[in-house]
Amino acid sequence: MVKRITAIFIIIILSFNLSACSKNEKSRYEAEFLRLFDTVTQIVGYSDSKEEFSNQVQMIYDSLKEYHQLYDIYNDYDGINNIKTINDNAGIAPVKVDSRIIDMLLFSKEIYELTDGKINIAFGAVLKIWHDYRNEGIENPEKAELPPIDMLMEAAKHTDINKVIIDKENSTVFLSDPEMSLDVGAIAKGYAVEEISKMALENGLNSALISVGGNVRSIGVKADSGSRWTVGIKNPLDKDGKSISRVQLEDASLVTSGIYERYYTVDGKRYHHIIDPDTLFPAEYYASISILCPDSGMADALSTSVFTMPFEQGFELIESLPDVEAVWVFHDGEIKYSSNYEKYSAD
């Protein structure tokens, strides 16, 4: 599979190579590959040569693949202890894991405190129920139904993040509640994107835009013009996917969570995948939330957590954080912005 995906992105690099005006200028290239984190990854960047950019993209692919496997909650991989391995050993024994899992989980615990529990990696028991009912509803729409509240409430008894025991010195993780499971979907992709962006910069890719399923991270500015990268924020209420706003990024991230992502329909009503830990049902405050900030992991976590907060609470949180801005899109089409959003605006 690796060879097949590598071939795909090399072809696209060739197709999109735009020759520079002089030998001293970098050329623009684009690459795309599939499947990792169950989504499409797109990379636009400037490099001295096609070969150099191809090597940089290969490095990004290889690293992103490792993060994908480490943070996977559904699949096993030979020789790898991942999040699924931790879940499989809940209440049984600590699991020795890669430091990239330890670091992400520690970051997740910080996010739990920051968001007053709205982002909880120990919420897997509840999210699994919704995942199973959503998949069944998608496969058999005529039989789609909602999870019973009693089932959700019972699962919610096994979501105490304090029972996620992390031993950094020995690099182990233990879930002391045997009915508990981790779900890192609100953080893992953004965290991985941030880490691979830092790696890419260290390896010479200093002008690029990386998008992993819409989780966007810019590195530097456009090498040919010195201008910031321009990215549109999708209108969640527009079937054609038009933008509600355009933003300019320089060493910054844009992440959007919305009702148009994973969902299924029961009795004519859509139920998306962002579950409010207080109600145990999909949050209904907004159509989408977009977060702009330097760190992609933080942007990913905030886009989900603020989605589950009333506007006043979410606005207060965003305003309290340095270098973080947000865009709220309500179901009636109303749009609200954080105080300093204009520093990113390209409109």
Rounded CA-CA distance 320/223 in Å is: 33
- Sign of the torsion angle spanned by Cα atoms 231, 235, 241, 242: negative
The reported pLDDT for the residue numbered 127 is 98
Strands 263-266 and 269-272: antiparallel
Out of 140, 175, 210, a domain closes at: 175
Is residue 345 located within the same domain as residue 266? yes
The reported pLDDT for the residue numbered 3 is 40
- Residue (of 50, 2, 25, 53) closest to 208 by Cα position: 53
**Which residues, 6+ apart, have CB-to-CB distance to 145 below 8 Å?**
133, 137, 266
Out of 195, 221, 247, a domain closes at: 221
Query: pLDDT digit string (tens) for 314-325?
Result: 999 999 999 999
> The domain spanning residue 110 has which CATH number?
1.10.3980.10
The reported pLDDT for the residue numbered 20 is 39
In this predicted structure, the answer to whether residue 208 has a pLDDT above a threshold of 90 is yes
Is residue 212 located within the same domain as residue 121? no
- Residue 35's region, left for phi above 0, alpha for psi from -120 to 50, else beta, is left
The total of structural domains in the chain comes to 3
Q: Are 249 and 218 in contact (CB under 8 A)?
A: yes
pTM listed for this prediction = 0.91
- Residue (of 217, 107, 91) closest to 160 by Cα position: 91
What band does 98 get if pLDDT is binned at 50, 70 and 90? Answer: very high
- Tell the residue number behind the tokens 């859509």, with chain if given: 270
Q: Are 181 and 110 in contact (CB under 8 A)?
A: no
The rounded radius of gyration (Å) of the Cα atoms in the chain is: 21
In this structure, what token pair is assigned to residue 53?
């950019």
The reported pLDDT for the residue numbered 262 is 82
Rounded CA-CA distance 180/90 in Å is: 7
The reported pLDDT for the residue numbered 288 is 95
Average pLDDT rounded to a whole number, residues 240-246: 85
Q: Per the domain annotation, does 76 fall within a domain?
A: no
103-117, 161-175, 248-262, 284-298: least confidently modelled range = 248-262
Rounded CA-CA distance 33/45 in Å is: 15
What band does 257 get if pLDDT is binned at 50, 70 and 90? Answer: very high
Rounded CA-CA distance 94/92 in Å is: 7
Is residue 233 located within the same domain as residue 346? yes
Is residue 148 located within the same domain as residue 295? no
Rounded CA-CA distance 299/256 in Å is: 8
Phi and psi angles of residue 176, each rounded to the nearest 5 degrees, phi first: -75, -20
Long-range contacts formed by 320-325: CB under 8 A, 24+ apart: 321/293, 323/293, 323/294, 324/291, 324/292, 324/293, 324/298, 325/291, 325/292, 325/293
Q: CA dihedral in degrees (304, 306, 308, 312; nearest 10)?
A: -170
Average pLDDT rounded to a whole number, residues 138-150: 96
Q: DSSP code of 272?
A: E
Out of 142, 175, 208, a domain closes at: 175
Q: Per the domain annotation, does 245 fall within a domain?
A: yes
Range of the domain at 123: 83-175
Is residue 293 located within the same domain as residue 208? no
Is residue 237 located within the same domain as residue 135? no
Average pLDDT rounded to a whole number, residues 23-35: 84
Could you give the strand order of the β-sheet that contains 172-175, starting from the edge strand earlier in sequence?
A: 95-96, 172-175, 164-167
Is residue 50 located within the same domain as residue 92? no
Q: Per the domain annotation, does 162 fall within a domain?
A: yes
Rounded CA-CA distance 186/297 in Å is: 9
- Residue (of 333, 278, 324, 296) closest to 119 by Cα position: 278
Is residue 20 located within the same domain as residue 129? no
The reported pLDDT for the residue numbered 214 is 80
The per-residue DSSP string of 189-250 comes to: HHHHHHHHHHHHHHTT--SEEEEETTEEEEES--TTT-PPEEEEEE-TT-TT--EEEEEEES
The reported pLDDT for the residue numbered 250 is 97
> The domain spanning residue 281 has which CATH number?
3.10.520.10
Is residue 259 located within the same domain as residue 195? no
Is residue 257 located within the same domain as residue 274? yes
Is residue 251 located within the same domain as residue 340? yes
The reported pLDDT for the residue numbered 23 is 45
The reported pLDDT for the residue numbered 24 is 53
Average pLDDT rounded to a whole number, residues 66-93: 98
The reported pLDDT for the residue numbered 242 is 83
Report which residue type is found at 31. A
Q: Per the domain annotation, does 180 fall within a domain?
A: no
Is residue 238 located within the same domain as residue 331? yes
9-18, 206-215, 319-328: least confidently modelled range = 9-18
The reported pLDDT for the residue numbered 38 is 87
